[in-house]
Structure 1
Amino acid sequence: MASSANNQEELGPVAKFFGRSEPFYDTAGMKDESGNPITLTLVDGKLYTPVGEGCVRGARSTRLRPDDVLLCGFCKTGCHWTWETMNMILREKAEYSAMGKGQGFLEMVPLSMIETLASPRVLNTHLDFDRLPEDILKYKTKLVITTRNPKDVAVSFYHHHRDLYEMYGYEGTFSEWMSLYLGGKVDNDGFFKYHADWDRAIKEHPEIPVLVVTYEDHAQDPVGTVKRLASFLSVNLDDETINAIAAATSFHPMKSDLKSKGMATHALLRKGEVCQWKDYLTVAQSEAIDKLVETQLAGTIFAEPRYQI
C-alpha cells in the first residue's frame, strides 16, 4: 500500500484527467520474466488496473438509476468505440461527447463526477461482474460487453501498458510482456480468466439483459453494429441517423475528434485494425494463445469464431 507521503505527490496528467485525488501506485509487486515491474492493484488475490483498492471496492456501492446502461469489457476490446456509439444512439445524434467514456468510468473517477452526469448515463468499467454496483440486480440494468480477438488484444494491450507510464510504469519489451499476458499477470487476471468469469456470471443471471459486441463488429460492419446496439437499447433511429452515427464512430474520425479536443486519451486509440497481431506474435506465442482459448474459453459464449480471426 502506498504511504501517505506518496499520496501527497503531485498528480500526473492522467490522474488529473480522471479527477483522482491520489496517484496510481503498486500493491501487487508483479514483474515480467526479466524482472521489469508493472504497477497493478491487488484486491482479494486478484489483479486490477492500478486504481487502488478503495476504487475497486467502491464501485460496488455506486448508486444506479433505472435508465442507466453499463458498458463492460476487458481493456483494449473496443470499449471507447462502443461507448461513443452507445452515447450517440441514446442521444439520437451523431455528435461526439465532451469527455468520452472517462467521465463515467466506475472504478476510475470520483463518485461525485458520475453523479453529475445527465441521464440516460452510459457508465463503463473493466471490472468483473461481482464488483459491479449492487443496483444492477435491482434494476436489471442492461449490460453491453465488448470483446476482441485475444491476439490483437495482446498487441494493443502491450502498447497500452507502455504508453500509460504514469499508470503502469512498465518498460519491458513485447516478448517480455507476453509472459505476463499469457500467465494472467495483468489487469483482471488476464483476458482468459476475465472472459471465463463473465460467461459464468451471464449464465447465472439470465434476468440481466446482455449484448456482446466485438471489436471486429465495429471494424467490419459499422452500420449493422449501430442497428444491433440501437435495438438492444430500445432506441428507434431512422436510416439517416444510423448511417451518420456509423460514419462518425468509424475509427479515424473518432480518434481525430479526441485529438482536436486536446484529450491525451486519443493516443490510446491506435489503429482500429484487425489481425495486426500477425506483425507481432511469433508462431509459439500465437499457438500459446490458441491453447488458452481452447482450454479456458471452450463452451463459453466468447469461444465464437466470429472474432477468432
Structure 2
Amino acid sequence: MSYKDFEVYNLNDGGGGILHNQMLVDGMRIPTFRKPPEETAAILRNIKHLKIRDDDIMLCTPVKSGTHWCFEILTMLLNGATERSDLQKIFLMLINVPEEELDLMKSPRILNTHFPFRMLPSQTKKKHTKIVLVLRNPKDLVVSLYYHHTGMTNYFYNGTFSDHLKLFMEGKLMYNSWFDYVLEFEKALDDEPDRIHLTFYEDLKENGVEEIKKIADFLEVPAASDPELIAAINDQCQFDTMKKEKQYGPELAKKIFIDPSKFNMYRKGEIGDWKNHFTVAENERFDQLFEEKMKTSKLRFRFEPSIK
C-alpha cells in the first residue's frame, strides 16, 4: 500500500515469515512504530532540521548495539551520580519523538538514533555536537535483532533465524545496510576525530571501567576525575543489573508493543552468542560478505570473548 511518496509494507523473508509494519521513506527502511505512517514519515524528514542545543550529546548506534545500556551510562556520567533515572532512551529517540516533545526535555539531552551520519541534524556540525558512537560485531547484532523482531508484537514476525539472516545480509531490514552505516561513520571519524568517540560494545562489556573513563574524558564531565564514581557507574550498568532494573513498566511496555512476560530489551548481551545460531555454511557466507564489504575498513571487530 502506498501513501503519497513513501511506502508501508510487510516484508516477506522468502521462507514463509512476514515482518510486519515496515516503511520505506526516501530510501530508508524503518518500522512504522504503529503510528500513522504520515506522522512517522514527517518525523524522519524533520530530523535534519531539528534545533540542537549547545550541550546536547548524540548517541549513535546501529540497531541492537547497546543503545539502552549506553544511554544509562551517559545519563549517569552527565548527572555525576549512580542513581537510576526514570528516563528511557525511547523518549529521546529521534525517529520516535516529534520535535515539539524533544523541545520539552531538560538539558543536557542525550539524543539517540540508528540513522547514518549523513542523516543527523544539520546543526550537529554547526554546533560541533559531541557524538558517542557504539559499534557491535554484526554476528551478535543480527542474533539480537532476530529476537527483537520475534519478541516485539509490533512486528508479528515468526520466521526462522536463517531467513532473517539473509535479509540482514541483503540490507533489507530496518535502517538498511549495517556495512554502509559503519563505513560512512568510519569516514566521519577520520574527518572529525575530535567530536566523535568510538566505543566497541565488546570492549565496554569486558573493560567497562576503562571504556567509561574514556567516554567521560571525551565528554569533559567532572566524573572523569572521579575513579570511584566511574567504578560505581560500571557496577550499576552491568548487564544483569540493567536487565532487572530498567525493564519497561506495564504502561510503557504496552505503548511500545512489548509483552514483558515474553520479551526484554536486555536479552543476553553475550559476546559470541552467534555461535549458537549460525550454521557452518552461514558463517562462511557471512565471513565472505564481511571481507568483501569491509575490505577498505581499518576497524577491527571482535566476534569472540577475550581469552583470560
Partners of 1:93 and 1:2 in 2: CA distance? 48
1:8 alignment partner in structure 2: none
1:286 aligns with 2:273: no
Query: Partner residue of 2:146?
Result: 158
Write out per-residue CA displacement over residues 123-152 of structure 1, whole angstroms, 9 at most, x where no aligned residue.
Answer: 100111121111111101111111111110
Distance 1:207 1:198, change over 3 A: closer
Task: Indicate yes or no: 2:14 matched with 1:33.
Answer: yes
Q: CA deviation at 1:208?
A: 6.0
Change (3 A) 1:256 1:279: same
Q: Within the alignment, does 1:88 sit opposite 2:91 as a pair?
A: no
Cα–Cα, structure 1 residues 26 and 99, in superposed 2: closer, same or farther, change >3 Å? farther
Residue 304 in structure 1 maps to residue 292 in structure 2: no
Q: Give distance in 1, aligned partners of 2:32 and 2:130.
A: 27
Retained in 1: the 8 A contact 2:134–2:201? yes
Aligned CA distance change for structure 1 residues 260 and 177 (closer, same or farther; 3 Å) = closer
2:272, 2:303 within 8 Å by CA — same for their partners in 1? Answer: no
Instruction: Supply the AA of the counterpart residue of 2:52.
Output: L
Of 95, 118, 126, the residue aligned with 1:107 is 95
- In the TM superposition, 1:200-219 aligns within 5 A as 200-203=187-190, 205-206=191-192, 209-219=195-205
Cα distance in 2 for residues equivalent to 1:225 and 1:200:
22
Q: CA deviation at 1:162?
A: 1.1
1:73 aligns with 2:61: yes
Who is 2:185 aligned against? 198
State the alpha-carbon separation in 2 of the partners of residues 185 and 260 from structure 1: 28
> Could you say which structure has the higher helix fraction?
1
Partner of 1:14: none
CA distance in 1, matches of 2:200, 2:59: 12
**How much does 1:46 deviate?**
3.0
How many matched pairs?
285
Q: Which runs of 5+ in 1 are unaligned?
A: 4-24
Cα distance in structure 2, aligned partners of 1:148 and 1:209:
20
1:43 partner letter: V
How far off is 1:277 after superposition? 0.7
Deviations 1:85-139 (A, max 9, x none): 0110011001222122111101111222211211111110011112111111110
**Structure 2: 5+ residue stretches without partners:** 34-39
Task: State which of 258, 270, 276 in structure 1 corresponds to 2:273.
Answer: 276
- DSSP 3-state at the match of 2:60: strand
Asked whether the equivalents of residues 17 and 160 of structure 2 are also in contact (C-alpha less than 8 Å), the reply is no
Q: Which amino acid aligns with 1:251?
A: F
Q: CA deviation at 1:172?
A: 0.8
Distance change (3 Å), C-alpha of 1:251 and 1:293: same
Deviation at 1:300, TM superposition (A): 2.3
Equivalent residue letter for 2:11:
M
Deviates more, 1:168-177 or 1:255-264: 255-264
State the distance in 1 between where 2:79 and 2:272 align: 33
- The letter for the 2-side match of 1:210 is I
* d(CA) in 1 for partners of 2:58, 2:227: 25
What's the Cα RMSD here? 2.3
- Secondary structure of residue in 1 paired with 2:157: coil
Distance 1:136 1:208 in 2: 13
1:150–1:289 Cα contact (<8 Å) kept: no
AA aligned opposite 1:225: E
Partner residue, 2:32 = 50
Please name the residue that 2:176 is paired with. Answer: 189
Residues 136 and 2 (structure 1), Cα distance of their counterparts in 2 relative to 1, 3 Å cut: same
Aligned-partner residue type, residue 34 of structure 1: G
Measure, in 2, the Cα distance between the counterparts of 1:300 and 1:83: 27
Quote the offset at 1:37 in angstroms: 2.6
- Counterpart of 1:259, as a letter, is Q
